[in-house]
Amino acid sequence: MDLMQLLDMILHVDKMLGTVIAQYGTLVYAVLFAIVFCETAFVIFPFLPGDSLLFIAGAFSATGAMNPWILIILLVIASISGNTVNYWIGSLIGHKVMERDHKWIDKNALRKTHEFYEKHGGKTVVLARFIPIVRTFAPFVAGFSDMTHRTFQFFNVAGALLWILSLVLSGYFFGNIPFVRDHLNAIVLVGVGAAIIPILLGVGWKLARSLFGKNA
């Protein structure tokens, strides 16, 4: 397998999972662990498959190709540890920025971001799990904004459990139903919309309250 074939397999592993299992057997656990870890640990990998991969992995578990509990445990560990690494990278960069006098960085804005994450960051860390790209950057921003580690880890673990369990078990129970399998992308989009809409409504409500409050 050359580099391009390997890259194509990684980028489309959600569509080629059956082939990966047939060729590599139990090594598929390591492959899935590495993909989930990298997507959540490094901001340069937001393009890796996430929701669809978890769902399809659950579907293959239902056929006996993988053990669902081993899969869930490994992916939860990958998700938690990935976010933790991302948080520490963001924290390290954030501290260096605050220690140095960079004219192009508004430190007051960073302090406000820190205050926001201490107050609302928990919900952001949890909901970001279900939003592609955002889930890759949320832990980095949490660390960069100096969100306390204890607060971050509480919501990090909660978000990982909710994300992995909901998608893998959904795939396990419904992934082999023809309608669900054939319309997976649309179902994932609905799930993403369900995660984003409450956030938008919350932001809109706060803006409305602020606007009417000023005009009162």
pLDDT tens for each residue of 83-134: 999 999 999 887 776 666 655 555 566 666 667 677 777 888 888 888 878 8
SS3 content of the chain, % helix, strand, coil (to 5): 80, 0, 20
Residue 3 has pLDDT above 60, yes or no: no
CA atoms of 56 and 181, how far apart (whole Å): 9
> Worst-scoring range by mean pLDDT, 31-45, 83-97, 155-169, 188-202?
188-202
Closest CA to 71 of 100, 39, 128, 31: 31
Closest CA to 158 of 127, 113, 204: 127
pLDDT of residue 44: 87
CA atoms of 162 and 52, how far apart (whole Å): 15
CA atoms of 85 and 62, how far apart (whole Å): 31
* Phi, psi for residue 71 in degrees, rounded to 5: -60, -50
pLDDT of residue 73: 97
Residue 194 has pLDDT above 80, yes or no: no
> Worst-scoring range by mean pLDDT, 36-50, 92-106, 172-186?
92-106
pLDDT of residue 124: 82
Q: What is the mean pLDDT of the chain?
A: 80
* Inter-helix orientation angle 13-24/3-11, to 10°: 120
CB atoms within 10 A of CB 109: 10
Residue 161 has pLDDT above 90, yes or no: yes
**Residue 48: CB partners within 8 Å, gap ≥ 6?**
10, 11, 35, 38, 39
CA atoms of 203 and 206, how far apart (whole Å): 5
Q: Region 123-146: what's the mean pLDDT? A: 85
Task: Please tell me whether the overall predicted TM-score, pTM, comes out greater than 0.75 for this model.
Answer: yes
Q: Region 8-31: what's the mean pLDDT? A: 81
pLDDT of residue 155: 93
pLDDT of residue 93: 86
**Residue 113: CB partners within 8 Å, gap ≥ 6?**
141, 144, 145
Dmax (CA) of the chain = 68
Token pair, residue 74, equals 């490994």
pLDDT of residue 160: 96
The CA distances from residue 207 to 66, 116, 215, in Å, are 47, 15, 12
